[in-house]
Structure 1
Amino acid sequence: MLDEVERWLGRRSWSVADRPMEQILAAKRGTTVSVVLPALDEEATVGDIVSVIRRELMSEAVPLVDELVVVDSGSTDRTAEVAAAAGARVVARDAVLPRIPALPGKGEVLWRSLLATSGDVVCFVDADLRDFSADFVSGIVGPLLTDPDVEFVKAMYDRPLGDAPGQGGRVTELVARPLLNLHWPQLAGFVQPLGGEYAARRTLLERLPFPVGYGVELGLLVDALHTVGLDALAQVDVGVRKHRHQGGQALGRMAAAIYRTAQVRLSRGHLVRPELTQFERAADGGAGFVPRTYPVDTEERPPMAEIAEYARRRVA
């Protein structure tokens, strides 16, 4: 298995510099590209990301991106206003496929975004990135335009935590990487399996189920492997990713959801206890800890190709 991973790394791991923009645009040949930013209370960063994409990838000189959509999942700040002012089309999560009540979670937003966009290639970018570079889009879209055998591309990057280089991605190192190495060793070569920046052909995404919560990245990666095979998957080094880091308890809930996503794929329907109990110091300052129990999201959305509204649009 190690030999297979090493061969894959040699064939399917690239740097953003490997494909100059001129080569990417020449290969585009009518293929449309949609960029989706799932957003929840990201007014501080979403505008800069939208502005960079509009300025550097949607100009007359560089017409790489055809559609830029921010899907707002119920922000209470000015996320929607800031994104629209910067030039994105803003879509409310609940306005997409309204006959199906929305569930909380990032994966829910990504799943619905397939119905809110039309590009042949769909590129997802998290809305909390700082010092955003257009390389995060062009780098992962490039292989899909220049290599017809590639179906799914993840970004890879350094993830600093404060001043510590490479110490971000704590859930990746403590949960996702061990799970992948133990159960899906073909995917052991992915540097950032949980990273939120990846692109894929619509014809693949519409055939995959979407975990509604934090498990969406691992779920899509594993299901893509089983659907199109390792050689159709790739990764591109785009530099450094800076973003807002979450606290330990939020990471715990993320870890539980990711473990659950793996468990479902290993043995469908055998969840023992889809809940996670954590502890917080008593709010009144007294001694002892108070247990807080959170549900671990157990919902998945079916492949979008099975949704009647989506099928009707495709026919039209």
Structure 2
Amino acid sequence: MRWQKAIRAYITKQNYPLGVLVAFSGEVEDLESYPAPVTETSKNLNPGLKGRDIRDAFAEPNYHLLLVANEFKTGFDQPLLCAMYVDKKLGGIQAVQTLSRLNRAYPGKDTTYILDFVNDAGEVLKAFKTYYETAELEATTDPEKVFDLRSKLDAADWYDDFEVELVAKVELDPKGTQAQLQAAIAPVADRLLKRYKAAQAAKAAAEAQKDESAAQAARDALEALILFKGDMGAFIRLYAFLSQIFGYGNTDIEKRFMFYKRLIPLLEFGRERDQVDLSKVTLTHHSLSNTGTLPLHLDQGDSQKLPPMNATGSGSLQEKQKALLEEIIQMVN
């Protein structure tokens, strides 16, 4: 939003015939920009939309610049795009997907142009070479890991087969209703959320009484719940990938896939902010310097192979304070 106001002011000052749109999801509250929360369809933000989808409006001749943060980095098929100005770190498949928004043919479009302020050219080339011509895995992904994860999740004893069957039955029933699905999944979610809240209360009480043993037990309970949710996510990703290749012939696996997909969004443990909002760490002064135009030759040198899905579900919680401190130091530097 602030970028858009600054760019619009500059365009007006220079009297350029350029139209600007800004795209983002949800609602943003920034009193420095506008007195009330706005969405991308707000009249004072994108007055020319008039209820239309931003993709359709951007195709019109009176719009030339589209400002985005995460929106439209992938899946945005607009052949008119011919230039991109990048001011955020991109890596791996994200770099390939984002920059490839320009790779669309259109009559009269004979040049594409990228001005990148932050990314290393070698890293961008490395990302593209991974998917250039042929993408290969450096090793295979073990299909048995799905069964290992299932056993690990079942052993946590937060649900039973009946509850899994109930959710799967509603999912597979063409006449199943939203109320039936909610009734099937809500008891499991409620059980987990109440356990998390109880562990939080136990931790606070133990710390207040300086009972380190009880406090550690409560912390272990909280970590176990967070890891349980993470393992369900790992199961979903692994099964979604491997089921395209292997025929498991095991309906219990498929039913758990449905069950976990419904359960995960309900488990908003804690709701506290997990990390420092690093967008508030801003430079008050900066300078720009031309580092040159760099040709990146995809047909030279070796390409990287993609890693398989290994050690799935073997994660552990990292020391949050140390990780965040490292991130802050890196950003400040």
- State if a TM-score over 0.5 links the two structures: no
Decide which structure has greater strand share. 1
Decide which structure has greater helix share. 2
* TM-score relative to the length of structure 2: 0.27
Asked which structure has the greater CA Rg, the reply is 2
* TM-score relative to the length of structure 1: 0.28
